[in-house]
């Protein structure tokens, strides 16, 4: 649902909602977008976020992850990505209860699941998020910030040697055929056997 609104209207709705995560809200260009996530949205987000953390853990990378989180730049933007990952800059947010989006670094990687065409990669431009994964119509789209625009890429800068399309498709298939834990166990076994290199 799209509603014409000011930044103050957006702030008032956020306060009314409190710490809840439903409905999800986004503010951009004088409008508020409201969305109630469907079960498919939640499952896909959880599985893909688990893929990310499993891949990071496998190579013993330090990271921090957040969900739900509201990113806000006053009078400009308010957005709620499905997951934020701090990989290169995890130390900058370690232990913080709140992130100041005007002074702290942006997440290194944001994951957005788009079931209803609610998501737009350009919503992350004001924050200068280096990499955004948009999962739309069962396809992973990897965008990387190139100067002032996002450019569609075939590989993630965080996992350059992994065919993420194949890995995520298989994990989602196992998750829908059985469950998420089976999908992640399968991924871990394949990583241990060196099948993903």
CATH 3.40.50 corresponds to the domain 38-192: no
CB under 8 A, 24+ apart: contacts of 98-106: 99/69, 99/71, 101/71, 101/72, 101/73, 101/127, 102/73, 102/74, 106/130
Reduced DSSP (H G I as helix, E B as strand, rest coil) percent helix, strand, coil of the chain, to 5: 35, 25, 40
Tokens of 77: 């933007």
| Residue pLDDT tens, the chain, 197 long | 677 777 777 777 777 776 655 667 676 777 766 666 666 778 999 999 999 999 999 999 999 998 878 888 888 888 888 899 999 999 999 999 889 999 999 999 999 988 766 678 999 999 999 999 999 989 999 999 999 999 999 999 999 999 999 999 999 999 999 999 999 999 999 999 998 86
Peptide bond connecting 44 to the previous residue in cis, omega within 30 degrees of 0: no
What does the DSSP 8-state code read for residue 13? H
Which single residue is written with the structure tokens 């000011």? 6
How many CA atoms lie less than 13 Å away from 133 in the CB half-sphere? 29
Domain boundaries, the chain: 38-192
């Amino acid at each position: 649902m799209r509603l014409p609104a000011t930044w103050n209207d957006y702030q008032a709705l956020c306060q009314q909602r409190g710490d809840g995560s439903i409905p999800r809200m986004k503010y951009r260009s004088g409008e508020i977008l409201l969305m109630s996530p469907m079960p498919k949205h939640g499952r896909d987000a959880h599985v893909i976020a688990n893929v990310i953390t499993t891949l990071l853990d496998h190579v013993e990378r330090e990271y921090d992850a957040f969900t739900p989180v509201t990113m806000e730049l006053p009078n400009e933007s308010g957005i709620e990505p499905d997951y934020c990952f701090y990989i290169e800059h995890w130390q900058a947010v370690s232990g913080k209860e709140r992130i100041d989006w005007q002074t702290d670094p942006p997440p290194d990687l944001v994951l957005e699941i788009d079931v209803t065409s609610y998501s737009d990669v350009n919503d992350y431009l004001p924050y200068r998020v280096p990499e955004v994964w948009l999962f739309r119509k069962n396809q992973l789209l990897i965008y990387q910030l190139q100067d002032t625009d996002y450019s569609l890429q075939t590989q993630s800068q965080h996992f350059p040697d992994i065919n993420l399309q194949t890995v995520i498709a298989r994990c989602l298939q196992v998750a829908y055929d059985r469950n998420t834990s089976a999908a992640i166990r399968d991924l871990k076994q394949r990583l241990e056997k060196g099948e993903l290199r």
